[in-house]
Amino acid sequence: MPSTQLNLATHLVRLDSETDFAGWRDAARRLAMNEITPEDVAWQVEQDGEDRGKDLPAVLADAKLVVPRDFIERAETVICHCDPERFGFLYRLLWRLRSEPKLLSIASDPDIRKLEATEKAVHRDVHKMRAFVRFRKIGEGTDERYVAWFEPEHFIVERNAHFFVRRFTGMRWSILTPYASADWDGEQLAIGPGAGKRDAPGEDDAEALWQTYFASIFNPARLKVKAMQREMPKKYWRNLPEASLIPDLIAGADKAASAMIDRMPTTPAPHHAKVKAKHWPTPEPSDVVAPEAGNIPELCEEAKGCRRCPLWRDATQTVFGEGPENADVIFVGEQPGDQEDLAGKPFVGPAGKVFDTILDDAEIDRRKVYVTNAVKHFKFEPRGKRRIHSKPNAGEIQACRWWLDKELDLVKPNLVVALGATAAQSLLGKAVPITKMRGDVIEREDGLRVFLTIHPSFILRIRDHEDKEAEKERFLGDMRKVKQLMAA
Ligand code: URA
């Protein structure tokens, strides 16, 4: 805060740290109850161990301050933003809420617009940290631990630390950032002071693994440099082992990408208008506001913040569907796996490889179909350093069906392929015996045709070579049927 402003204020609040929400709340309560206007307060983060709140008024015994719960939750997010004015801004909102109880729902109010933008920036930074923290191993045996260096834009280490505890429960790890560090010793989480990049280790063996993995999932035909830089801003590149590959991969991708763009369909297929006219039921729980998304990229953006079931907590990110919006067919899998969760794309791991190969053999161009999952977050059980796939339950399938229905509504496919039991359950609203009904086409009440088949990961699990090859042939047969049905 500029010193002139400090001098004009009659009350100075000193907070313990940049994320001292309890301190802010206590001070804001005292100030508001004593009718001290926002203009009369200056806020400062304590730098050198001075006492906090020396000149704060006492809480008045008979005064009452009612604040919407929603505001408190939102304020906890905003406090993590790096804007030094955020404490005063929040107090101004609190002050206004006393005489304008509906303020939070007035989207056109400049303060509310600022509140939303600030929250969004913090959420985005939290998401980036989850996606871009890379641990490096130090020590061996009982000394083994993992250390990562990360440079967040906002004060999000405390807020994010529990995510990493849940995700990497079986490892001992530290995440170092310039303003704070988080340390998990396998039993306890400690938040400590900031560190320097040199305190974190350099390259390790896992580096090469990451690079191989990244190069293998990198699809030149799907490259969007601007989107990629938006999702993985350059500032994070210097701490990502795979980032050293990006310039070369981009340079080599141009030709393949432009050839693909030339081949992309540009006008909707004629049957779309017919299907569009039909009624598409979209069950909508009352506690969620319907998004306004008018196309798949907008819907995908909205799904990034999905909290419709608890799976978002442990997953790295929402893995949304992918493919052209005028695709004739949608393939629906179960849920993203470990690699999809990291890459943010459906079917790029081992099951995706089987799927790609067999689609190719059936002469179905994956770039022209829409591929998604019944559940958009990876559900897993941590086992040591590994994350073991765990089947989504009926509630999670139902919660995520809302997104799948929106995808169907926007893409308006001619045919949907249910890959396995979870997809079938989501699309038909009930459990169906896949092995018995495989190859069947079920017409839903809304006229949409659903083709039933196995999930490609079923093939991966077959150990016997001959049985595996036979199952691949059957799946290829199913995909050939799909190809015929797509055009019908
Ligand atoms: N299995 C699925 O069902 N979906 C994916 O995206 C990957 C594996």
Ligand 1 atom closest to Cα of residue 333: 3
pLDDT computed for residue 139 by the predictor: 83
Q: Is 334 in the pocket of ligand 1 (CB under 6 A)?
A: yes
Q: Rounded to the nearest whole angstrom, what is the distance from the C-alpha of residue 240 to the centroid of ligand 1?
A: 25
Q: Report the C-alpha gap between 147 and 71 in whole angstroms.
A: 35
Going by pLDDT thresholds of 50, 70 and 90, the confidence category of residue 198 is confident
Amino acid at 193: P
DSSP H helices, 385-464, are 394-411, 421-428, 434-437, 456-461
pLDDT computed for residue 238 by the predictor: 66
* Mutation choice for ligand 1 from 345, 373, 389, 422, CB with most ligand atoms inside 8 A: 373
User: Which tens digits make up the pLDDT trace of 229-266?
Assistant: 666 666 666 666 666 666 666 666 655 445 444 433 33
Mean pLDDT of all residues in 210-226: 56
Going by pLDDT thresholds of 50, 70 and 90, the confidence category of residue 64 is confident
Q: Is 351 in the pocket of ligand 1 (CB under 6 A)?
A: yes
Q: Rounded to the nearest whole angstrom, what is the distance from the C-alpha of residue 336 to the centroid of ligand 1?
A: 4
Q: Is 336 in the pocket of ligand 1 (CB under 6 A)?
A: yes
Q: Is 23 in the pocket of ligand 1 (CB under 6 A)?
A: no
Q: Is 335 in the pocket of ligand 1 (CB under 6 A)?
A: yes
Percent of the chain whose pLDDT exceeds 90:
58
Inter-residue contact 437 to 414 (CB < 8 Å): no
Ligand 1 atom closest to Cα of residue 422: 3
pLDDT computed for residue 303 by the predictor: 93
pLDDT computed for residue 51 by the predictor: 53
Using CA atoms in the order 106, 107, 112, 117, what is the torsion angle rounded to 10 degrees? 160
DSSP H helices, 100-224, are 110-132, 157-167, 205-217
User: Which tens digits make up the pLDDT trace of 407-447?
Assistant: 999 999 999 999 999 999 999 999 999 999 999 999 999 99
Mean pLDDT of all residues in 337-360: 93
Mean pLDDT of all residues in 81-92: 97
Q: Is 422 in the pocket of ligand 1 (CB under 6 A)?
A: no
Ligand 1 atom closest to Cα of residue 351: 8
Q: Rounded to the nearest whole angstrom, what is the distance from the C-alpha of residue 378 to the centroid of ligand 1?
A: 9
* Mutation choice for ligand 1 from 387, 457, 458, CB with most ligand atoms inside 8 A: 457
Mean pLDDT value across the chain: 83
Please report the domains of the chain, with CATH numbers, ordered by start residue. 3-126 (no CATH), 133-199 (no CATH), 207-263 (no CATH), 270-487 (3.40.470.10)
